[in-house]
Amino acid sequence: MRIVELNEKTKDGLMRNLLKRSPESYGEYEETVNGIIKEIREKGDEALFGYTRKFDRCEITAETIRVTKEEIKEAYELVDPELIAVMKKSAANITEFHSHQLRNSWIVPKEDGTILGQKITPVAVSGVYVPGGKAAYPSSVLMNVLPAKVAGVPRIIMTTPPGADGRVNPGTLVAADIAGVDEIYKAGGAQAIAAMAFGTESIPRVDKITGPGNIFVALAKKACFGFVSIDSVAGPSEILVLADETANPRYVAADLLSQAEHDELASAILITTSRELAEKVSDEVAGFTQQLSRKEIIEKSLENYGYILLAETMDEAVGAANEIASEHLEILTANPFETMTKIKNAGAIFLGEYSSEPLGDYFAGPNHILPTNGTARFFSPLNVDDFLKKTSIISYSEDALSRVHKDIELFAEKEGLTAHANSVKVRFE
């Protein structure tokens, strides 16, 4: 991995390079995606089945698009029982963590005759997209579905592309069943996003769409936002490790590679105050890479978006980490909890040498659907709130309104909205 001194010039260059990975940079695909969405809106199932035939080489009909109970039962027989047991443990951890995020509706009555409050209601239908093929990750099924279940969403549907034989990845089906998905449909790509956003004869319209996917899926979610709520327009995976001279270089290298293997656009960055650590980590990365199954992807990822940045002080290192606002941030310092107090921007923070990033991906409980491409400056991980709506409640008695009606009328009249003012005024004529 390249080792560079951390300064304003190198930091600015790194930030510009990382931003190239954003889905916002792939406008050449938008016309294709918009065409797919338009056709799904106009032709419904006819267009959906046509795109499934074209892209997945699979003949799907209204009778075969929905996964049956028999297919789910068969999936259990095809998945390693040990993996099923681990998925159930993971699901329990995810559910327990997200249960702490639940909030209740509230009402505050006052003696002056006013009643104010907030009604919290889950969305009626939530849709989750799950990629197929090599990108089928049961862990993402659990992470997308379980916060919605905790929120109390009454109907959760899932779309996932079928293979040419019309079958769905068995691990995906088992995870969906464990998480409590109500309906599973065989549809993939931008066409599946459009189907959930606008509805077809077979797939119901949803209120919220979550889940990862390729650039076409990401752009479809972006295009459908406003007609339906989405989690985010996610970019490629990223990890930033903040370390001092006490860090174990072998652990740091292994953790950097855990994200570099995702795809060629993934980023892996180490910021450290120790040149000795930097050099050892670089050597360990080279050694590990030769042993790992996704060697070619890792090498391309590190060539394009892998950095070891040398900072003069830990405060300088923390400042750079806050500007980068990484999806995953590991802190491997002498006192990681103290360092963590200075972090303002990160999707998820992993503290100490035994809190490696895959712990969050699979098992600990916090969500692994995280803000990317610097959006941790203003976005949060997927959580229970994403599946809840807040509705304001206002009730004034005649006496309460009488004390403030002139203030309201004045405000409305100054804005030139005389009908607003009149709506209050008529009650006291």
Q: How far apart are CA 39 and CA 48, in angstroms?
A: 9
CA-closest candidate to residue 370, choices 177, 198, 234: 234
User: What is the secondary structure of 391-421 as a DSSP string?
Assistant: EEEEEE-HHHHHTTHHHHHHHHHHTT-HHHH
**Residue 405 falls in the annotated catalytic set:** no
Among the options 238, 284, 327, 353, which is catalytic? 327
328 included as an active-site residue: yes
Sign, CA torsion 372/27/214/208: positive
Angle at 193 between CA 169 and CA 79, to 5 degrees: 10
DSSP-derived letter for residue 427 is: G
**What CA–CA distance (Å, rounded) separates 322 from 313?**
15
Residue 355, burial from CB neighbour count under 10 angstroms (0-12, 13-18, 19+): middle
Q: Are strands 114-122 and 388-396 parallel, antiparallel or unpaired?
A: antiparallel
98, 262, 328, 368: which one is catalytic? 328
Residues paired with residue 125 on neighbouring β-strands, in sequence order: 155
Instruction: Identify whether the C-beta of residue 365 lies closer than 8 Å to the C-beta of residue 89.
Output: no
Query: How far apart are alpha carbons 326 and 346 in whole angstroms?
Result: 5
Q: Which residues are tagged catalytic?
A: 327-328
